[in-house]
Amino acid sequence: MTDAERREAIERIRARRGFWVHLTVYLVVNAGLVLIWYLGSGGYFWPVWPLLGWGIGLAAHGFGVFVGVSPPSEERIQREIDRGRRS
């Protein structure tokens, strides 16, 4: 295993860990909001808005971590460096 492979593996592990922390916070906070709604007036289910809004962000985070795009190739990195030098 090269140093670059090791760094990439550590980065993937941290990304997955970050997603699970994000999911846990999402569940705890939104459960709290639903509880506030339930214990309060009930009626219109206003927690739907933070659930949906934050849920979209959480889904995007999960997509980036678990499905996402592959890391850029060395060729792509070099092309970007060359493009920056021409600017």
- DSSP letters spanning 29-72: HHHHHHHHHHHTT-SS-TTHHHHHHHHHHHHHHHIIIII-PPPP
Q: Structurally, how many domains does the chain consist of?
A: 1
Cβ neighbours for 16, distance < 8 A, ≥ 6 positions apart: 65, 66
Q: Tell me, what's the pLDDT at 21? A: 98
Q: Tell me, what's the pLDDT at 30? A: 98
Q: What share of the chain in percent tops pLDDT 90?
A: 59
Report whether pLDDT(48) > 90: yes
**Rounded to two decimals, what is the model's pTM?**
0.75
Q: Which whole number is the average pLDDT over 19-48?
A: 96
Q: What is the pLDDT of residues 63-81, one digit of tens each?
A: 999 987 777 778 888 888 8
Structural domain span for residue 73: 3-86
